[in-house]
Amino acid sequence: MNDALLSGATIGILGGGQLGRMLSVAASRLGFRSHIYEPAANPPAGHVADRVTTAPYEDLDALRAFAASVDVVTYEFENVPAEALDAIEALRPIRPNRRALAVSQDRIAEKDFLNQIGLTTAPYAAVTTAADLETALLKIGHPAILKTTRLGYDGKGQARIRALSDAAPALAAMNGAPSVLEGFVDFTHEVSVIAARGLDGSVACYDPGENVHKDGILATTTIPARLSASQRTDAVLLAARILNALDYVGVMGVELFVTPQGLIVNEIAPRVHNSGHWTQNGCAVDQFEQHIRAVAGWPLGDGSRFADVVMENLIGDDVLRVPAIARERDAAIHLYGKAKVKPGRKMGHVNRVKRP
Ligand code: AMP
């Protein structure tokens, strides 16, 4: 633990949403302070962090002052502008590193990288114009999905192409943004691996979870996932390959499609991940502590699973069910302190633990 941060050091976190909030809680449990940088006022993480800077990512002076006040910088979301990262990196280490961010910010760079290291993705082609889309559809066929290469999340910036007549409206939905056409993967189910890599290069993966999405947003994660022993090994090994290739430090979410032909990588998220929230009540060391340990240069903790868990996201009005959920046995409630309920907004989650 030569480079390890000591108790009392400050972890800087870019982004003040629920992930930043849960990272701050984990940091404080290890004796660290946390400083959140977030453009929006009154962020969920601000209720639990030691300090909050409210400023846009274009304010390089505010970013420099933030960096100077912390010992290491991490982030809860991957779309931090490159100029902001340049300003920070001149002063403090950013973990996970810039390459992980660059690769995951752009769906084409991500798929190029994954294929280069020998993993399988959906077939894909870059699209900006109607002519590109025509060529891409000839190459990939349909059904297919058109997605903006950058800034997509929770199913936003995506349009399905079931028949050729869907092509023009799908392209119009991209608003001229550079996009990628992906072949539709005929998967049986979706799983994810939450993987961690320490500063010393050691890797630890949580047991894969099975994810169900509703309207493009994660609804539930069930642990264990339906996977054969060899699929489980494949999932963990491919996640480790990604982390090692990126010289990664921290926790990453790797989303996979399960098909009869094998596992296909959908996307990677260089941060703690919604599908890893179950670890809060199913493991001795959850993904948030694991991430803080990694970025602080501590040894990784024990992420082995001691119970089956079903994580349910509380989205929008779901949060009104909290009084009833609070009466359930073995249901751990995690709320994000968001004042306003909005449709599609993640308000909290519940981990239902099945005792072994
Ligand atoms: P994404 O934002 O890329 O993770 O996509 C959100 C969800 O859309 C995924 O979790 C899948 O359920 C579905 N999806 C995305 N890409 C594909 C694909 N190439 N084939 C089939 N389903 C997909």
pLDDT tens per residue, range 2-13: 679 999 999 999
Does ligand 1 have an atom closer than 6 angstroms to the CB of 155? yes
User: What count of Cα atoms within 13 Å lies in the side-chain half-sphere of residue 66?
Assistant: 33
What the block records as the tokens of 198 is 């320490």
* Alpha-carbon gap, residue 189 to 204, rounded angstroms: 24
Strands 250-259 and 262-269: antiparallel
Residue 1 has pLDDT above 80, yes or no: no
In this structure, the chain runs to a length of 356
> 142 C-alpha to center of ligand 1: Å?
14
Residue located nearest, by CA, to atom 2 of ligand 1: 155
pLDDT tier, 79 (very low <50, low <70, confident <90, very high otherwise): confident
Does ligand 1 have an atom closer than 6 angstroms to the CB of 181? no
**How confident is the model at residue 353, as a pLDDT?**
98
Residue located nearest, by CA, to atom 7 of ligand 1: 216
Does ligand 1 have an atom closer than 6 angstroms to the CB of 180? no
**How confident is the model at residue 152, as a pLDDT?**
67
* 10-94 classified as CATH 3.40.50.20: yes
pTM above 0.75, yes or no: yes
Does ligand 1 have an atom closer than 6 angstroms to the CB of 254? no
Mutate to test the pocket of ligand 1, among 77, 153, 266, 267 (most ligand atoms within 8 A of CB): 266
Question: What number does the ligand 1 atom closest to the CA of 218 have?
Answer: 10
Question: What number does the ligand 1 atom closest to the CA of 147 have?
Answer: 3
Q: Which residues contact 191 (CB under 8 A, 6 or more apart)?
A: 208, 209, 210, 211, 225, 227, 235, 255, 256, 258
Question: What number does the ligand 1 atom closest to the CA of 153 have?
Answer: 2
- Looking at the DSSP bridge assignments, the partners of residue 309 are 223, 353
> 62 C-alpha to center of ligand 1: Å?
36
Where are the extended beta strands (E) located within the chain? 10-14, 33-38, 51-54, 72-75, 124-127, 144-148, 158-161, 179-183, 189-197, 203-205, 209-214, 217-223, 250-259, 262-269, 308-315, 331-335, 346-354
- Across the range 156-164, mean pLDDT stands at 89
**How confident is the model at residue 78, as a pLDDT?**
87
Q: How far is CA 269 from CA 54, 107, 184, 294, in A?
A: 24, 11, 20, 16
Does ligand 1 have an atom closer than 6 angstroms to the CB of 145? yes
Does ligand 1 have an atom closer than 6 angstroms to the CB of 216? yes
pLDDT tier, 104 (very low <50, low <70, confident <90, very high otherwise): very high
- Across the range 147-169, mean pLDDT stands at 86
- Across the range 275-290, mean pLDDT stands at 98
Give the mean pLDDT of the chain: 96
The SS3 call for residue 301 is coil
* Alpha-carbon gap, residue 128 to 254, rounded angstroms: 27
* Alpha-carbon gap, residue 183 to 125, rounded angstroms: 9
Residue 260 has pLDDT above 80, yes or no: yes
Helical axes 82-89 vs 60-68, angle rounded to 10°:
40
- Across the range 167-181, mean pLDDT stands at 94
**How confident is the model at residue 355, as a pLDDT?**
81
> 53 C-alpha to center of ligand 1: Å?
34
> 266 C-alpha to center of ligand 1: Å?
7
pLDDT of 51-66, one tens digit each?
Answer: 999 999 999 999 999 9
* Alpha-carbon gap, residue 43 to 61, rounded angstroms: 21
Least confident range of 164-173, 247-256, 281-290: 164-173
Are the C-beta atoms of residues 236 and 256 closer than 8 Å to each other? no
Are the C-beta atoms of residues 193 and 254 closer than 8 Å to each other? yes
Residue located nearest, by CA, to atom 1 of ligand 1: 155
Ordered by start, the domain boundaries in the chain are 10-94, 123-183, 189-354
What the block records as the tokens of 166 is 């869907």
Does ligand 1 have an atom closer than 6 angstroms to the CB of 184? yes
* CATH-assigned architecture of domain 189-354: 2-Layer Sandwich (3.30)
Q: How far is CA 142 from CA 122, 139, 185, in A?
A: 12, 10, 10
- Kindly report the number of other CB atoms within 10 A of residue 115's CB atom: 13
Does ligand 1 have an atom closer than 6 angstroms to the CB of 160? no
Does ligand 1 have an atom closer than 6 angstroms to the CB of 139? no
% of the chain beyond a pLDDT of 70: 98
**How confident is the model at residue 339, as a pLDDT?**
87
Burial call 119-139: b when 16+ CB within 10 Å, e when fewer: bbbbbbbebeeeebbeebbee
**How confident is the model at residue 251, as a pLDDT?**
98
Within the chain, where are the H helices?
18-29, 60-68, 82-89, 98-105, 107-116, 130-140, 167-173, 229-245, 279-282, 287-295, 322-325
| Single-letter residue type at 16 | G
Does ligand 1 have an atom closer than 6 angstroms to the CB of 72? no
- Of 1.10.10.10, 3.30.1490.20, 3.20.20.100, 3.30.565.10, which CATH number belongs to 123-183? 3.30.1490.20
Residue located nearest, by CA, to atom 9 of ligand 1: 216
Residue 153 has pLDDT above 80, yes or no: no
**How confident is the model at residue 155, as a pLDDT?**
62
Are the C-beta atoms of residues 34 and 57 closer than 8 Å to each other? no
- Across the range 305-331, mean pLDDT stands at 97
Question: What number does the ligand 1 atom closest to the CA of 186 have?
Answer: 21
Does ligand 1 have an atom closer than 6 angstroms to the CB of 266? yes
The SS3 call for residue 155 is coil
* Alpha-carbon gap, residue 307 to 310, rounded angstroms: 10
**How confident is the model at residue 256, as a pLDDT?**
98
pLDDT tier, 33 (very low <50, low <70, confident <90, very high otherwise): very high
What the block records as the tokens of 39 is 């453009």
pLDDT tier, 185 (very low <50, low <70, confident <90, very high otherwise): very high
Q: Could you tell me which residue, 19 or 152, shows the higher pLDDT?
A: 19
